[in-house]
A and B are shown apart, each in its own frame.
Chain A
Amino acid sequence: DTEVTQTPKHLVMGMTNKKSLKCEQHMGHRAMYWYKQKAKKPPELMFVYSYEKLSINESVPSRFSPECPNSSLLNLHLHALQPEDSALYLCASSQVVRDRGSSEQFFGPGTRLTVL
């Protein structure tokens, strides 16, 4: 199984709502990632989890709150978002590598988020 699944596929929320994005993989990967992709732009890294611990936060606003409850699941909790947060949110996973080595990242199809 080389698939990363993300739910929901689409999400529309108001600025006062609280919602969560979910990501799951069963490849035994111990590194998981959240990316944000605006229309016609490349993905931008938001968070990295390594062995279920947050290892990288790319200065993301606190209205985005990641959570890694176990080695297969990754959540992104959303609260008080702004319309400019509307984007495609991508989850990815990979093996953990040492130093600046390399390992293939497997991406999910993303959640298309619209903030009204």
Chain B
Amino acid sequence: DAKTTQPNSMESNEEEPVHLPCNHSTISGTDYIHWYRQLPSQGPEYVIHGLTSNVNNRMASLAIAEDRKSSTLILHRATLRDAAVYYCILGGVPRLTFGEGTQLTVNP
């Protein structure tokens, strides 16, 4: 399976945008890019996914590089409730292989 690389941790201030990067230089043409997040003491939660084009939903936006070797999850206005581990995952259901993720801290 293709591998993802994410920063171990990032910090943001409340109500500011957050850009969470993910590198995936070995992505295959059929790999979807998924983002899940895991809040403390909870199971992972779907955030967004895409294949080639940028995607928006109520939670976030996903910006995918033209060569698809990297992507960025954008939280438009971080809140304290967005503090979580964010996982960038390649592939498709059923097999989601989680990487180490980015621990996002949101400061009041």
Chain A interface residues toward B at CB < 8 A: 4, 31, 33, 41-45, 48, 50, 55-56, 90, 92, 94-95, 97, 99-110
Chain B residues with Cβ below 8 Å from A102 are 32, 34, 49, 51, 92-93
A45 contact from B43, B49, B97, B101, Cβ within 8 A: B97
In this assembly, does B94 line the interface, its C-beta being within 8 Å of a C-beta of chain A? Answer: yes
Find out whether the CB atom of A99 lies under 8 angstroms from the CB atom of B95: no
B30/A105 in contact, CB under 8 A: no
Chain A residues near B95 (CB, 8 Å)?
A: 45, 48, 56
Determine if B98 and A42 form an interchain contact, defined as CB atoms under 8 angstroms apart: yes
Residues of chain B within 8 A (CB-CB) of A108 are 43
Q: Is the interface of B mostly helix, strand, loop or mixed?
A: loop
Are the C-beta atoms of A109 and B97 separated by less than 8 Å?
no
Contacts of B30 in A (CB 8 A): 99-100
A100–B91 contact, CB under 8 A?
yes
Answer whether A92 and B43 are a contact pair too, CB < 8 Å, given A56-B95, A101-B93, A102-B93.
Answer: yes
Given contacts A43-B44, A110-B42, 19 further A-B contacts (CB under 8 A): A4-B43, A31-B94, A42-B100, A43-B98, A50-B94, A56-B94, A56-B95, A90-B43, A100-B30, A100-B31, A101-B32, A102-B93, A104-B46, A104-B49, A105-B93, A107-B43, A108-B43, A109-B42, A110-B43
